[in-house]
Amino acid sequence: MITGHLTPFLEARDTRRRVSNLVACGTLTFLSGVAIGALFLVFGYVLYRGFPAINWAFFIETPRPVGEVGGGLANAMVGSLIILLLASLLGIPWGILTGVYLSEYGRGRLGSAVRFCSDMLSSVPSIVIGLFAYALLVVPMKHFSALAGSVALAVMMVPTIARSTEELLRLVPNHIREAGLALGVPRWKVILLIVLRGNLSAILTGVMLAIARASGETAPLLFTALNSRFLSWRVDQPIASLPVQIYTYAIAPFDDWHRQAWGGALVLVVFVFSLNLLARSVIRPKMTRD
C-alpha cells in the first residue's frame, strides 16, 4: 500500500501524466483528422471537376480529332483493363509463388537474398521499372506494346503480393502443414492446395491491394504501353491507359481535354477505391473454435 508521505508526489505525477496524455491524444487526433480531411478533399474535388465530363459517350467513344469537342475515353478504359488483366495473370502467380518460397523454403542464404531483393524491388521508383521493361521488351520487339506495360506493372505487383503471402503463411501454425504431410501430400501441394485454398480471402486481399496500386501507375507505362487514340485489344501494339491518357490530356492546351482528364481521374479514383473497399470486405472474421 502507498504510505502517506509519498501521496503528494504521486498525485503531482498523476496530474502531469494526465496533461501529457491530453496533449498527445489531441495531437494525434488532429493529425489523423488532417489525413482524413485530405482524402475527402481530393475525392470531393475530383468528383466536382470530373462529374460534368461523365456521360454515356465518355465510356463508349474514343477521342475525337484535335479541335473537335466530345468523344470519350473508351480506348483508355479498355486499355487499362487489358494491361491490368495481363499484369495480374503474370504478377499474381509469380508473387504468390515467391511468397510461398520465402515462407516455406527461404530459410537459408538464398532465401534471405530473395527477401532482400523483393524488399528492394518494392522501393525501386516506378519509372525505373518502366525503363527495365522498355529495355527488356520494347527494344527487342522494336515497338511499344501493351505486353511491355503489363510486365512493368507485374514487376511492381510481385513484392506486395509476395510479402502478403509470406506474412499469411507465417501465421499458419506448423501443425496444419504436418497434418497435410502426414496424409502423404508433398509439401508444395500442402501449401498451395490446402493452406492457401483455406485462406483464399486473405490472399485475395493482398492481390487486390496490389492491383489497386498498379492501376494508378503512370510512369511505368509512359515508354512501354505508350498510348493510342484508337480502341485496341492487341497486346503486341501500343495501347491507351487511363493514367497516361489523363497525363496527356491534362498537359494539353484544350479545355475540353482538361474536362475529360478530370473525368478520367474520377473513373480511376472510383475504380481504386472500389478495389480497396472490396479488399477490406473479403477479410471477414472467420468463426474458429479451438
Partner 1 sequence: MADVQPIVKVEGLNAWFGDVHAVKGITIDFLPNTVTALIGPSGCGKSTFIRCLNRLHEEIEGASASGRVVVENNDIYGAGVDPVRIRRKIGMVFQKANPFPGLSIFENVAAGLKLAGIRRRSLLQDVVRRSLEGAALWDEVKDKLHQPGTSLSGGQQQRLCIARALAVEPPVILMDEPTSALDPISTAKIEELMLSLKRRTTVIIVTHNLQQAARISERTAFFLLGEMVEFGDTTQVFTVPKQKKTEQYITGRFG
Binding site for partner 1 (CB under 8 A): 107, 172-173, 175-176, 178-187, 189, 193-195, 197-200, 286-290
Rounded Cα distance, 119 and 115, in Å? 6
Judged by beta carbon, residue 202 or residue 239, the one nearer partner 1 is 202
Judged by beta carbon, residue 28 or residue 176, the one nearer partner 1 is 176
C-alpha grid cell, residue 22: 491530453
Judged by beta carbon, residue 189 or residue 234, the one nearer partner 1 is 189
Cβ 206 to partner 1, closest distance in Å?
16
Instruction: Tell me if residue 63 falls in helix, strand or coil.
Output: strand
C-alpha grid cell, residue 281: 470486405
**What does residue 108 show for φ and ψ, rounded to 5 degrees?**
-80, -160
Rounded Cα distance, 206 and 215, in Å? 14
For residue 39, which amino acid is it? L
Rounded Cα distance, 251 and 150, in Å? 25
- First-residue to last-residue Cα distance in the chain: 41
Strand partners, 63: 71
Cβ 161 to partner 1, closest distance in Å?
19
Compute the chain's Rg from CA coordinates.
Answer: 25
Rounded Cα distance, 123 and 116, in Å? 11
Judged by beta carbon, residue 43 or residue 105, the one nearer partner 1 is 105
Judged by beta carbon, residue 192 or residue 235, the one nearer partner 1 is 192
Cβ 210 to partner 1, closest distance in Å?
21
Cβ 202 to partner 1, closest distance in Å?
9
Cβ 201 to partner 1, closest distance in Å?
8
Cβ 55 to partner 1, closest distance in Å?
44
Judged by beta carbon, residue 68 or residue 290, the one nearer partner 1 is 290
Whether residue 160 contacts residue 100, with contact meaning beta carbons closer than 8 Å, is answered with: no
